[in-house]
Amino acid sequence: MSTTNEESAARVAIVTGGSGGIGSAVARALAADGMAVAVHYSGSAERAEKVVASIQEAGGTAISVSGDVADETAMTALFDTTEERFGGIDVVVNTAGIMLLAPLAEMELDAFDRMHRVNVRGTFVVSQLAARRLRPGGALVNFSTSVTRLQQPTYAAYAATKGAVEAMTLILARELRGRDVTVNAVAPGPTATPLFLDGKSPELVDRIAAASPTERLGTPDDIASAVAFLAGPGGRWVNGQVLYANGGVA
């Protein structure tokens, strides 16, 4: 774990998968809005450290914390560390997830189980902790995908995990009645992250970009802006919704 400074901020956010393409943009956006941010990572400590450093250089406050997103003990430690450092938690954003693609008839069950563990169990574990610990005025933002509405071949297993995320998100919003905590999901469309672009030809990328009326791919900052809206004061009247941030692709 690394830290920037010891000062507590008025609002505090946890971003799971905060070292990834979208996660890092979300962490920076929330920090720019004045929040102290716990940047969670499960793989690359170096990438997480770079995100923390960039927040610090911009005058913000951040820590990096590792852990398996589907492990309740590790995630409890993440929440404990954040509360001990900053005094509470106001925003939790679940960007952590994996995408493994294959036609349903050919999908290896081990691959499906891996994806289910991270995308569904991981979201459940973190959402459960958020439901127990978010302060009044808080926000939980989970991550779905626009693929749930596109019915694209090879995406069945991935879309199924994200359909589960949407279901738990919308129900949890109703279960937190009276808590003054909002629960929403963001469903990105095709977004120009290294993971998305890897292995795709320029021609394929161009075809995917052309599917949107905006005729471009989304950027991590586009998605981060949607999250920042839901996590900030302007999003307090948005609750129990799935926000499709996809440029009109679906």
Active site residue 155: no
Identify any residues that bridge with 92 across adjacent strands, giving them in sequence order. 14, 140
Q: What does the CA dihedral 66, 72, 75, 77 come to, rounded to 10 degrees?
A: -90
| Residue 58, both tokens | 């911009």
In whole angstroms, give the CA distance from residue 174 to residue 182: 9
Element (H, E) at 186: strand 181-188
The catalytically annotated residue of 41, 155, 158, 244 is 158
Closest to 191 (Cα-Cα) out of 141, 142, 145, 242: 145
Alpha-carbon distances of 199 from 19, 34, 205, 209, rounded to whole Å: 21, 37, 10, 16
In whole angstroms, give the CA distance from residue 96 to residue 118: 8
34 φ/ψ sector (left φ>0, alpha ψ -120 to 50, else beta): left
Would you please indicate which residues are annotated as catalytic (active-site) residues? 158
